[in-house]
Structure 1
Amino acid sequence: MRILFLIQGEGRGHLTQALSLAQILQMAGHEVIGAVVGVTAERTVPAFFSEAFTAPIKPIFSPGLVYNAGNNSLEPTKTTLQAVRNIRPLWKSLKQVHHIIETQRPDVVVNFYEMLGGLTYALLRPSAPMICIAHQYMVFHKNFQCPKDQWLYRQAFKLNTRLTCFGAQELLALSFDKQADEPRHRLRIVPPLLRQEVTALKPTDDDFLLAYVTQPGLKSEILKAHHQYPDVRMDGFHAGTSLPDEIVDETLTYHAIDGKRFLEFMARCKAIVTTAGFESVCEAAYLGKPALMIPQPNHYEQACNAIDGQRSGVGVASDRFDLDQLLAYIPEHNTQISERFRAWHAQGYFLFLGALNRASTSRRKSSGGFFQTRVRQLLRS
């Protein structure tokens, strides 16, 4: 099969998942012919992806999320207003995506939560079948737990998620553990996608805590916890540090962000403190490291991830760096969780290939519909 990727370029999660699936497809003898990556003027394709992805990459404008510069919290209103202002360049991007699909003629398009994919298939109806892969599709599952008393955020999250998957043959929801499929939503539950760089690591259990520090406020909380527990060794990968090793004192060291080195530290640490991004928590679970999951402020998706991660036993959720909570949790963490997680992850190879085979052999539904027909006429004119 010839596979084309559409990938949301926000953060690292969807890009690393795409790299992982590319490794699976290569082992199975299939060809990834390229990747369309959604970018903005402020967010280009990161080097870690462009250096590892072997097929051609096409960056295309896609509306991004807006974060508060002071505390790194998500700004939902500004995100929406920015998307409205970018309607015209968005339409141009949809036509570009359609042209790429019709020109390259892949057997299957795999969409990693990129809105351009769902909108292109809703309005322009490309000929190649599409499947969508993301943890976010778990929001359509009846057992998925979300924060209470946040009905508006939940509806906005579901709407945004639906915009990514119009016209998809199947939705593959990445999950911490095995769940029942939801056929009425075209929803199949699949294991996380982890890179071979993670699965090849041999974890040990050194006596230090590891933190991934992207929020300015989280750094101050780490310092506060360090002063409270000066004998607990902590290593933090900090976005504001340019040095490989910035030693604060004997038990606290900051490191510049380095993906490969961070994984090496994760394989050796006792536990990890991180935001509630799905990918990083899954990597910790695979390596048997309990996680303290701290969602970014106003980030509804990460709040859901933290609840779901705690339900599945991979870690404990918190709204701050609560070292008391983490130190109390570590002895209670069930070490068999990692074994079950690894067994679930091992099923992914066959589940992903099965989904691609179903999509490539399925018959496309008739285009139908006056609106879609009129849009295609305008596109050809």
Structure 2
Amino acid sequence: MRILFLVQGEGRGHLTQALSLAQILHSAGHQVIGAIVGVTAERGVPSFFSEKFTAPITPIFSPGLVYNAGTNELQPVKTTIQAIRYARPFWRSLKQVRTIIDTQRPDVVVNFYEMLGGLTYALLRPSVPMVCIAHQYLAFHPNFQRPKNQWFYEQAFKINTRLTCLGARELLALSFDKQADAPGQGVRVVPPLLRQEVTQMKPTNGDFLLAYVTQPGLNVELLKAHRQHPQIRMDGFHAGVNVPNQVIDDTLTYHAIDGKRFLDFMARCKAIVTTAGFESVCEAAYLGKPALMIPQPNHFEQACNAIDGQRAGVGVASNSFDLDQLLAYLPKHDTQVNERFRAWYGQGYFMFLAALNRAATPTSKPSSGGFFWTRVRHLLRS
């Protein structure tokens, strides 16, 4: 099969998942012919992706999420206003995507949560089947747990997620653990996509806690937790640090953000403190490291991830850098959860290949117009 990727360029998660699926497809003898990556004027294609992705990459404008520069808080209203303001260049982007699909004629388009994909298929109707992959599609699963009292953020999240998958042949929802499919929503539950760099690591049991600090507010909380527990060694990968090692004192060291070094520290730590991004929590679970999951403020997706991760037993959810909560959790952590996680991950190879084969050789093709309006009705009922 010849496969074209469409990838949301926001953050690292979807790009990392694209790299992981490319590894699976190459090992199975299929050809990934390229990747369309959604970018903005301020955010290009990250080097970690461009250096490792072996097929041609086409960056195309796609409105990104808007965060508060001081607190890193997601701002849904400003995100929506920005998307409306960029409607004209966004329309040009949709036509670019359609042209690339028509020119390259892949057997399947795989969309990693990029809105360009869903709206191109809804409005311009390419004939090539599309499969959508993201953990966000679990939000359509009837058993998925959601945070309470976040109605506005939930609706914004659902609308955005629906817009990424209009016209999709299948929705593959990445999950911490095995769950039943939700055929009524077109959702198949599949294992996480992890890079070979993670699965080939040999984890050890260290005596330090690892923190991933991207929010200024989280850094303040880390320092407070350190003062309360100065005897506990902590290493923090900090967005505001530009040197490999910045020693604060005998038990606290900051490090510049470095993906390879971070994985090395993760393989050796006792536990990890991080935002509730799906990818990083899954990497920790595979390496047997319990996680304290702290969602970014107003980030409904991460709030869901934290609740779902706690349900699955990979760690504990918290609204703050509560070291006491993590230390109380560690003796209770069930290491069998990590073994089941690795076994679940191992089923993914054949599940992803089977899904793409189904899409490439469908028994019947959905009507593009009918499928589009079916999705719209789902959206209005949500």
Question: So what's the TM-score if we normalise by structure 1?
Answer: 0.96
The answer to whether the 8 Å contact 1:19/1:195 transfers is: yes
Whether 1:16 and 2:16 are equivalent positions in the alignment is: yes
- Asked whether the equivalents of residues 76 and 156 of structure 2 are also in contact (C-alpha less than 8 Å), the reply is no
| Structure-2 change in CA distance of 1:320 and 1:366 (3 Å) | closer
User: Aligned residue for 2:302?
Assistant: 302
CA contact (8 A) 1:240 1:256 kept: yes
Q: Tell me the equivalent position of 1:174.
A: 174
Q: Counterparts of 1:368 and 1:82 in 2: how far apart (Å)?
A: 28
Equivalence for 1:243: 243
**1:252-299 alpha-carbon deviations (Å, 9 max, x no partner):** 000000000000000000000000000000000000000000000110
Distance 1:325 1:160 in 2: 33
CA shift, 1:358, in A, is 0.1
Q: Residue 365 of structure 1 aligns with which residue? A: 366
Corresponding residue number in structure 1 for 2:377: none
Q: What is the alpha-carbon distance in structure 2 between the residues aligned to residue 220 and residue 209 of structure 1?
A: 17
Q: Distance in 1 between matches of 2:245 and 2:295?
A: 26
Counterpart CA distance in 1 for 2:243 and 2:155 is 42
Aligned to 1:104: 104
Deviations 1:45-98 (CA, angstroms, capped at 9, x unpaired): 000000000000000000100000111000111101000100000100000000
Shift of 1:124: 0.4
Q: After TM superposition, list the pairs within 5 Å mapping 1:22-171 onto structure 2.
A: 22-171=22-171
Task: Output the aligned Cα RMSD.
Answer: 1.1
Distance 2:195 2:131 in 1: 20
SS, match of residue 52 in structure 1: coil
SS at match of 2:223: helix
Question: Is the 8 Å Cα contact of residues 6 and 35 (structure 1) preserved in structure 2?
Answer: yes
Match of 2:376 in 1: none
- 1:332 Cα deviation from its structure 2 partner: 0.7
Deviation at 1:364, TM superposition (A): 3.1
CA distance in 2, matches of 1:88, 1:368: 23
Compare 326-335 and 149-158 and name the one that shifted more.
Answer: 149-158
- Assess, with a 3 A threshold, how the Cα gap between structure 1 residues 367 and 79 changes in structure 2: closer, same or farther: closer
Conservation of the 8 A alpha-carbon contact between 2:205 and 2:268: yes
Q: Residue type matched to 1:271 in 2?
A: A
| Equivalent-residue separation in structure 1 for 2:28 and 2:233 (angstroms) | 43
Can you list the C-alpha shifts for 1:152-197, whole angstroms capped at 9, x where unaligned?
2212211110000000000000000000001111110000000000
**Residue 365 of structure 1: how far off its partner (Å):** 3.2
Contact 2:167/2:368 (<8 A) preserved: no
Supply the distance in 2 between the matched residues of 1:111 and 1:201 (Cα, whole angstroms): 28
CA distance in 2, matches of 1:241, 1:177: 35
Deviations 1:302-355 (A, max 9, x none): 000000000000000001000000111111100111000000000000000000
Q: Distance in 2 between matches of 1:101 and 1:3?
A: 10
Retained in 2: the 8 A contact 1:127–1:364? no
CA distance in 1, matches of 2:100, 2:210: 42
Say which SS state the counterpart of residue 253 (structure 1) adopts.
strand
Structure 1 residues 172-231: Cα deviation after superposition (integer angstroms, max 9, x where no partner): 000000000011111100000000000000000110000000000111111111111111
Give the secondary-structure state (helix, strand or coil) at the position aligned to 2:80.
Answer: helix
Q: Percent identity?
A: 79
Distance 1:340 1:367, change over 3 A: closer
Determine the structure 2 residue equivalent to 1:377.
Answer: none
What SS class does the counterpart of residue 247 from structure 2 fall into?
strand
Q: After TM superposition, give the deviation of residue 251 of structure 1 in Å.
A: 0.4
CA distance in 2, matches of 1:70, 1:26: 42
Structure 2 length-normalised TM: 0.96
Contact 2:122–2:368 (CA under 8 A) maintained in structure 1: no
2:244, 2:139 → 1: CA distance?
39
Question: Are residues 187 and 230 of structure 1, via their aligned partners in 2, closer, same or farther at CA, if it must alter by over 3 Å?
Answer: same
The equivalent of 2:352 in structure 1 is 352
Matched letter for residue 113 of structure 1: Y
* Residue 284 (structure 2) aligns with: 284
In the TM superposition, what is the alpha-carbon distance from 1:118 to its structure 2 partner?
A: 0.1
Aligned-partner Cα distance in 1 for 2:137–2:111: 12
**2:380 — aligned with what?**
none
The 3 A distance-change label for structure 1 pair 247 and 34 is: same
Aligned residue type for 1:118: G
Cα distance in 2 between the residues matched to 1:282 and 1:220: 26
- Superposed displacement of residue 367, structure 1: 4.5
CA distance in 1, matches of 2:300, 2:366: 34
Provide the secondary structure at the position in 1 that maps to 2:145: coil
The AA in structure 1 aligned to 2:222 is I
Note closer, same or farther for the CA distance 1:190–1:253 as it changes in structure 2 (3 Å cut). same
Instruction: Give, as a single letter, the amino acid of the residue that structure 2 aligns with 1:293.
Output: M
Q: Using the alignment, how far apart are the partners of 1:162 and 1:198 within structure 2?
A: 31
Distance (Å, rounded) in 1 between the aligned partners of 2:269 and 2:223: 19
Residues in 2 aligned to 1:203 and 1:150: alpha-carbon distance in whole angstroms: 37
CA drift of 1:366 comes to 4.2
